[in-house]
Amino acid sequence: MSRTPIKIFRTDNGPCPYLEKGNWQNISFQTSKLPPDGYTSLLNQGFRRSGLTIYHPVCSSCKECIPIRIDALNFIKNKGQRRTWRKNNDLRVEHHAAEFKQEDFALYSRYQHEWHKTDVRVKEDEYLDFLIDSPVPTEILRYYLGEKLIGLGWVDRLPELLSSVYFVFDPDYVSRRLGVFSLLYEIEYARSLDIRWLYLGYWVKSSAKMKYKADYQPAELLHDSKWIPFNSYPSKDLTGSTSENE
């Protein structure tokens, strides 16, 4: 049986979305179908997906995108996380296979426009490419207050792990800290499946957008193709960092 060879590309995606320096460069390929164990292997090599694109950062002179995973079975909430969990115990979360719904798209569009201050309205095909098209089993988690949809999360569900993809919320409910709550919920979801690891993509210590991931412990970081405890990561390998505890 003949197989279509995978074409791997090196891309320059413009300014880094996390830091105020350098360009964001990846090696990537596209696929419409990927065996779960194949994607598990890729995650454990530092890859990540966006829609049907599998990518790995290869930015020149920067190594700050570090893969991180949370030990869900041993996770313990801190004081602030316990408070956020209690504050949202009136929410209902529904799980569905990835699908397009106009209500979801409307919330996603509003979040991008009002929270991220995007000037151009999101197009449906962009939303589909990013969050509905997937080469692996993906679930949409819908967060409801009564009958009102106030949050949406996307999670790849593989036999050995969960991989958090993206989350949006209704800006009117910012005081609920729904981003925090959604991660706590995903950790509890992993526990309910007896899955130890929740993959969170990349931790970027110097980025205000990404450093929050360090608040969920215990965690591991990928270093030299091996997962090591978060606090064991060599500070010398963090570009621009001088101390592991700063």
Reduced to 3 states, what is the DSSP secondary structure of residue 226? Answer: strand
pLDDT at 236: 63
Residue 165 lies in a domain: yes
Residue 79 lies in a domain: yes
Residue 20 lies in a domain: no
Domain that holds residue 114: 71-197
Name the domain count of the chain.
Answer: 1
Residue 202 has pLDDT above 60, yes or no: yes
Residue 240 has pLDDT above 60, yes or no: no
Residue 163 lies in a domain: yes
Residue 55 has pLDDT above 50, yes or no: yes
Which 8-state DSSP code applies to residue 230?
Answer: G
From the list 163, 146, 145, 142, the residue with the least C-alpha distance to 99 is 142
Average pLDDT over residues 56-81: 95
Average pLDDT of every residue of the chain: 92
208/141: higher pLDDT: 141
The residues pairing with 219 across neighbouring beta strands, listed in sequence order, are 70
177: CATH: 3.40.630
Residue 35 lies in a domain: no
pLDDT at 22: 86
Read off the pLDDT band of 4 (50, 70, 90).
Answer: low
86-89, Cβ contacts within 8 angstroms, sequence gap of 24 or more: 87/176, 87/177, 87/181, 88/176, 88/178, 88/181
Residue 61 lies in a domain: no
Read off the pLDDT band of 209 (50, 70, 90).
Answer: confident
Read off the pLDDT band of 17 (50, 70, 90).
Answer: confident
Residue 114 lies in a domain: yes
Note the maximum CA span of the chain: 57
| pTM, rounded to two decimals | 0.92
The string of pLDDT tens digits covering residues 90-139 is 999 999 999 999 999 999 999 999 999 888 889 999 999 999 999 999 99
Number of other CB atoms surrounding residue 45 within 10 Å = 11
Residue 213 has pLDDT above 60, yes or no: yes
Residue 228 has pLDDT above 60, yes or no: yes
Residue 101 lies in a domain: yes
